[in-house]
Chains A and B, each alone.
Chain A
Amino acid sequence: MNRKGKLFRTLGVTSVAAVSLLMMVTASGASSSGPAKGQPVKIGISLSLSGDFSADGQAFKQGYQLWAADVNKTGGLLGHKVVLDIVSDASSPTQVVTNYQKLISTDHVNLTFGPFSSLLTLPAAKAVSRYGYAMIEGAGGAPSVFQAGLHNVFDVALPVANSLVPFAKWITALPKGQRPTTVAYVTSNDPFTQPQLPVAMKIMQPAGIKTVYNKVFPAEVTDFTPIADAVAATKAQVVVLGSTDVPTVSAFMQAFEQSGYTPKVFIATAGPDQGSTFIKAVGAANADGIMVPNSWYGLSAIPASKTMVAEYIKKYGGTPAGVNGDVAEGYAVGQVAAAAVKATGGFDNAKIIKYLHSGVMLQTVLGGAQFNALGMNPKMTAYTFQWQGATGTKFLQISPIGDPNTVKAVFPKPAWGK
């Protein structure tokens, strides 16, 4: 390359770098200044409104919208009406990054709320951290999210690693004559599901519950029949399924029934928590006895939760059991953001991050929210819930043992469709 060419190239690279820097600075500035008087506050959110996580994305959207409607009813945030700028990422970890970059640098949103799933939250949180934004979220509870060393992420929900602990404790507390003796673990290779199973195994194995199957399948698998058949062939009395969605759980249930196999206990890490969506997919009778770990359910006694559930039913219909847990997680994200904005007196993300790291205890529909240095909410309690009866309207808490809201579990699980 000649001298002239080198000069043009250097000038070109320098110009691009300068423009990029200017854009970043401009975007960061927008995050700190907040909306002008009388202008709405814009909250940028990327959600999976199509693709693998579309059902969860839709439920999160409902949660965010319910919260925004409630806030706007009482005058908005610091007098600014809340406007949600929601874009779809089609469940893609790549698209979610593009979306948040656009939301911040082009749409100039004042705050960002999280997407659905740990898989998307991690890249999203990294992207917004470059602009100095806080990422308050409700569906990124996997250890990989907290191990990334990000200072801006705050997960209002349950850290997933210990989600199955109450379940494992419940099963090991069963009288020895009733306690199952074999268990099959099968999980998708997803950051949300995989860390949960070894924790349960560590509790169940010493109690004499022998592992007869322990396999991981790729997240992109759509035909689960051979995997489910292999689990059925072991005749394990307990099945612990690491799932992220309803279709996976539904496929296993169908294949089990077709194989004439009914485990005594069947728990899935996600899917059965999706309320009426789950019931519609699997059929109410088949859901009887199915368990799921979570931190919230529609019958939660928390006053704010009761109000939110009533509002949800008024708007969308259904029963408390049919309310998807994602709705509450989305709503709780809004509550934490509102508390932080109120406490800091503005929309400065740096101040919001500092405030949320201060150890302050906030109240949400999920319960208490207090963040540690990693952005985790260790105060959140894990519960185990179970669908009971053949009507698809009873979704009840069956552990931790001793909790006043815990009811007796259906055990063993009834035969499919009975």
Chain B
Amino acid sequence: MNVTALIDAAKDGILTGSLYALMATGLTLVFGVMDIINVAQGILVIVGAYLSYALSVHFGIDLFLGLLITIPTLFVVGIVIERAFLGRLKGPEKTAMSILVTYAVSLVIEGSLNMIFSVNPVQLHAWYVNKSFVVGGYHFAFIYLAGFALAVVLLSALYYMLYRTRFGVSVRASLADQASAALVGIDVRRVSTICFGIGVAVTAAGGMIYGATTTFNASTSYDLISRLLTIIVLGGMGSLGGAMLAGVLLVFVGNVVGVIAGAVWSTMAYYVLLIIVLLVRPQGLFGKQSARVA
């Protein structure tokens, strides 16, 4: 076995996996607080990528600086989607209905993106996107390191918000039990709306890095959402820590198996892991069994 290739694969897995972790965190946060499965998360990542593309190509704004515009923009987009469609969902069928509603939203967005940007694939370009440096004989790509750093910063901010702020207490209370949270005076609806906005806002960062490392068009979202959903299932629906670990595992396991057994097995490896974990822990790595029965 080629040890260098193995270390390379492991390194790439951790760096790339952190991005998936970031994108999946928004998805699991929304599910945890709102019982909503947002299958539009994939296309919203692509919206983030296209926003960065538009700012870069038409206004010459650097990809990272552009986040100062795209993150708030997608936060607002999230609020609008939540207020217009998801806030109206009630009752025991809410989660199932949310899949249909967000799928419809994703189709509308996909069609709009195809009309605006065409179906031709594009990629984000900047002087640092393809550059790398060497440490100990290993190449480290700037964009992956920057993406990793961005994921760490944003996930840390999310953790700080959840565990060090008053709003975070409301979120965690809603995560644990919405009815009880409402009884103690928490405006669960407001918390839900803001959480959905945050969940969508992180796609701006994920989308920018994704667009700089992958050629994309609107249809790319289908592959993305299938990956993001399996990440939150493996990590445990509603678990932020679980999403982070599973995001890294998704790419790490695939890459390492790819080197050891060949690329043909790399995609399957993650799903084998997923099945094994679900057989042993049906609630996922960090999911709480029956925590959201109410």
Give the distance in Å from the alpha carbon of A64 to the alpha carbon of B293 in the complex: 55
Question: Which residues from chain A sit less than 8 Å from chain B, CB to CB?
Answer: 49-52, 54-55, 57-58, 90-91, 189, 215-218, 220-223, 225-227, 229-230, 233, 245-247, 250-251, 254, 257-260, 277, 280-283, 286, 416-417
Residue from B114, B125, B141, B266 in contact with A50 in the complex, judged by beta carbons closer than 8 Å: B114
**Does B130 make an interface contact (CB < 8 A)?**
yes
Q: Are the C-beta atoms of B123 and A218 separated by less than 8 Å?
A: no
Q: Are the C-beta atoms of A218 and B217 separated by less than 8 Å?
A: no
Q: Are the C-beta atoms of B214 and A227 separated by less than 8 Å?
A: no
With A58-B119, A416-B130 in contact, do A233 and B215 touch (Cβ < 8 Å)? Answer: no
Question: Nearest 8 CB-CB pairs, A to B?
Answer: A217-B263, A54-B119, A247-B215, A258-B141, A250-B215, A257-B130, A226-B255, A258-B132
**Does B12 make an interface contact (CB < 8 A)?**
yes
Q: List the B side residues contacting A49 at CB < 8 Å.
A: 114, 119
Q: Are the C-beta atoms of A227 and B218 separated by less than 8 Å?
A: no
Output the nearest chain B residue to A274 by Cβ-Cβ distance. Answer: B120
Q: Are the C-beta atoms of B218 and A221 separated by less than 8 Å?
A: no
**Does B288 make an interface contact (CB < 8 A)?**
no
With A250-B123, A258-B141, A417-B130 in contact, do A55 and B217 touch (Cβ < 8 Å)? Answer: yes
With A233-B2, A233-B8, A258-B141 in contact, do A221 and B267 touch (Cβ < 8 Å)? Answer: yes
Q: List the B side residues contacting A416 at CB < 8 Å.
A: 130
**Does B110 make an interface contact (CB < 8 A)?**
yes
Question: Which residues from chain B sit less than 8 Å from chain A, CB to CB?
Answer: 2, 4-5, 8-9, 12-13, 16, 110, 114, 118-123, 125, 129-132, 134, 139, 141, 213-220, 222-223, 251, 254-255, 258-259, 262-264, 266-267
Q: Are the C-beta atoms of A229 and B123 separated by less than 8 Å?
A: no
Q: Are the C-beta atoms of A50 and B110 separated by less than 8 Å?
A: yes
Output the nearest chain A residue to B134 by Cβ-Cβ distance. Answer: A260
With A50-B110, A50-B219, A233-B8 in contact, do A259 and B139 touch (Cβ < 8 Å)? Answer: yes
Q: Are the C-beta atoms of B125 and A283 separated by less than 8 Å?
A: yes
Q: Give A278 Cβ to nearest chain B Cβ, in Å.
A: 9
Residue from A217, A260, A286 in contact with B264 in the complex, judged by beta carbons closer than 8 Å: A217
Q: Are the C-beta atoms of B119 and A57 separated by less than 8 Å?
A: yes
Q: Which of A90, A227, A417 has the most CB of B within 10 A?
A: A227
Residue from B131, B139, B213, B267 in contact with A218 in the complex, judged by beta carbons closer than 8 Å: B267
Q: Give B260 Cβ to nearest chain A Cβ, in Å.
A: 11
Q: Are the C-beta atoms of A229 and B5 separated by less than 8 Å?
A: yes
Output the nearest chain B residue to A250 by Cβ-Cβ distance. Answer: B215
Output the nearest chain A residue to B11 by Cβ-Cβ distance. Answer: A229
Residue from B132, B141, B258, B264 in contact with A226 in the complex, judged by beta carbons closer than 8 Å: B258
Task: Give 17 pairs: A residue, B residue, CB < 8 Å, sorted on A.
Answer: A55-B217, A189-B264, A215-B263, A223-B255, A226-B254, A226-B263, A227-B258, A227-B263, A229-B8, A230-B5, A233-B2, A257-B132, A258-B132, A258-B139, A259-B132, A260-B132, A281-B215
Give the distance in Å from the alpha carbon of A259 to the alpha carbon of B137 in the complex: 10
Q: Are the C-beta atoms of B123 and A220 separated by less than 8 Å?
A: no
Q: Are the C-beta atoms of B217 and A230 separated by less than 8 Å?
A: no
Give the distance in Å from the alpha carbon of A220 to the alpha carbon of B254 in the complex: 13
Give the distance in Å from the alpha carbon of A60 to the alpha carbon of B266 in the complex: 33
Q: Give A254 Cβ to nearest chain B Cβ, in Å.
A: 6
Q: Are the C-beta atoms of A223 and B251 separated by less than 8 Å?
A: yes
Give the distance in Å from the alpha carbon of A283 to the alpha carbon of B217 in the complex: 16
Output the nearest chain A residue to B127 by Cβ-Cβ distance. Answer: A417
Give the distance in Å from the alpha carbon of A286 to the alpha carbon of B215 in the complex: 14
Q: Are the C-beta atoms of A254 and B5 separated by less than 8 Å?
A: no
With A233-B2, A250-B215 in contact, do A226 and B266 touch (Cβ < 8 Å)? Answer: yes
Q: Are the C-beta atoms of B121 and A226 separated by less than 8 Å?
A: no
Q: Give B20 Cβ to nearest chain A Cβ, in Å.
A: 10
Q: Give A139 Cβ to nearest chain B Cβ, in Å.
A: 16
Q: Are the C-beta atoms of A246 and B255 separated by less than 8 Å?
A: no
Q: Are the C-beta atoms of A230 and B139 separated by less than 8 Å?
A: no
Q: Give A205 Cβ to nearest chain B Cβ, in Å.
A: 22
Q: Are the C-beta atoms of A247 and B214 separated by less than 8 Å?
A: yes
Q: Give B106 Cβ to nearest chain A Cβ, in Å.
A: 12
Q: Are the C-beta atoms of B130 and A55 separated by less than 8 Å?
A: no
Q: Give A279 Cβ to nearest chain B Cβ, in Å.
A: 11
Q: Are the C-beta atoms of B16 and A277 separated by less than 8 Å?
A: no
Give the distance in Å from the alpha carbon of A260 to the alpha carbon of B121 in the complex: 25
Output the nearest chain A residue to B217 by Cβ-Cβ distance. Answer: A54
Give the distance in Å from the alpha carbon of A282 to the alpha carbon of B121 in the complex: 10
Q: Give A324 Cβ to nearest chain B Cβ, in Å.
A: 9
Give the distance in Å from the alpha carbon of A234 to the alpha carbon of B264 in the complex: 19
Give the distance in Å from the alpha carbon of A226 to the alpha carbon of B121 in the complex: 22
Q: Are the C-beta atoms of A221 and B263 separated by less than 8 Å?
A: yes
Q: Are the C-beta atoms of A230 and B259 separated by less than 8 Å?
A: yes
With A260-B132, A416-B130 in contact, do A222 and B214 touch (Cβ < 8 Å)? Answer: yes
Output the nearest chain A residue to B251 by Cβ-Cβ distance. Answer: A223
Q: List the A side residues contacting B13 at CB < 8 Å.
A: 226
Q: Give A46 Cβ to nearest chain B Cβ, in Å.
A: 15
Q: Are the C-beta atoms of A281 and B141 separated by less than 8 Å?
A: no
Q: Contacts A250-B123, A260-B139, A283-B125 given; 12 further ones with Cβ under 8 A?
A: A90-B219, A217-B264, A222-B223, A230-B2, A233-B2, A247-B216, A251-B214, A251-B215, A254-B123, A259-B132, A280-B120, A280-B122
Q: List the B side residues contacting A260 at CB < 8 Å.
A: 132, 134, 139
With A54-B219, A247-B121 in contact, do A254 and B255 touch (Cβ < 8 Å)? Answer: no
Give the distance in Å from the alpha carbon of A91 to the alpha carbon of B121 in the complex: 15
Q: List the A side residues contacting B129 at CB < 8 Å.
A: 254
Q: Are the C-beta atoms of A218 and B263 separated by less than 8 Å?
A: yes
Give the distance in Å from the alpha carbon of A50 to the alpha carbon of B117 in the complex: 13
Output the nearest chain B residue to A233 by Cβ-Cβ distance. Answer: B5
Give the distance in Å from the alpha carbon of A259 to the alpha carbon of B133 in the complex: 9
Give the distance in Å from the alpha carbon of A282 to the alpha carbon of B120 in the complex: 12
Output the nearest chain A residue to B268 by Cβ-Cβ distance. Answer: A218
